[in-house]
Amino acid sequence: MGRSIRLVVVALVAALAVAACGGKEEAPATQAAPDASTPKVVDDGTLAAGEQISAPKGDVVLTVSGDIGTANKGRKLELDLASLEKMRRVRLEAAEPFLKRRVVFEGVLLSDLLEVAGVPDSASKVSLTALDDYKVDFTVADVRSSQMLLATKADGKHMEVDHSGPIRIVFPDSSTLGRNPDLWIWSVATMKVA
């Protein structure tokens, strides 16, 4: 008589186990090699913090304003791709949420940019605006801890506007912020520090 009860219990447990397994269906398909997915310095660059940045010669890709210590046009700091690429360059491989594939990005750490722009320790917020007026805010702390990258190249090539260029924010796989695709702002045009 105990067998029938046992049978029911076993069936229930099995069913629950199957259900539990079902819950893990969406686990990450592939784990990137740690060396590729962690930001790696490609070139230490020539532009260091505290240095004067000359006015851009090419198209300005990023205008930094707000609470910054370094400016080259009034109170603003205008940067073209060449200026940006003089800074310490970093490469990382990340899962691009919109293309849904891994892309090797190259660019500067946004935190490095804050140093170069002479953002003081008192600054707390970084607001980024894209060419299409899309806007994302980060805390300075997040910027410094998350190793988010202001990418200038994807898969070794500079990016056109129709390919989310010329510069965009990307996150390493390890970053929790990066799990929100809304924060992957592309065609970044301005940065305001407050």
The binding site for another protein (CB under 8 A) comprises: 1, 3-5, 7-8, 11-12, 15-16, 18-19, 22-23, 25-26, 98-100, 131-132, 160-165, 186-187
The minimum distance between CB 186 and another protein, in angstroms, equals 7
Nearer to another protein, 8 or 55 (CB): 8
Residue from 144, 153, 135, 151 nearest 175 by CA: 144
Nearer to another protein, 120 or 181 (CB): 181
The minimum distance between CB 63 and another protein, in angstroms, equals 14
CB 110 within 8 A of CB 151: no
Residue 23 tokens, joined: 């819950």
Nearer to another protein, 95 or 193 (CB): 95
Nearer to another protein, 3 or 52 (CB): 3
**How many other C-beta atoms lie within 10 A of the C-beta of residue 155?**
12
Give CA separation, 145 vs 26, 75, 92, 112, 189, in Å. 27, 27, 16, 12, 23
The minimum distance between CB 161 and another protein, in angstroms, equals 3
Amino acid letter at 169?
I
For residues 135 and 129, give the distance between their C-alpha atoms in angstroms, rounded to a whole number.
Answer: 4
The minimum distance between CB 11 and another protein, in angstroms, equals 5
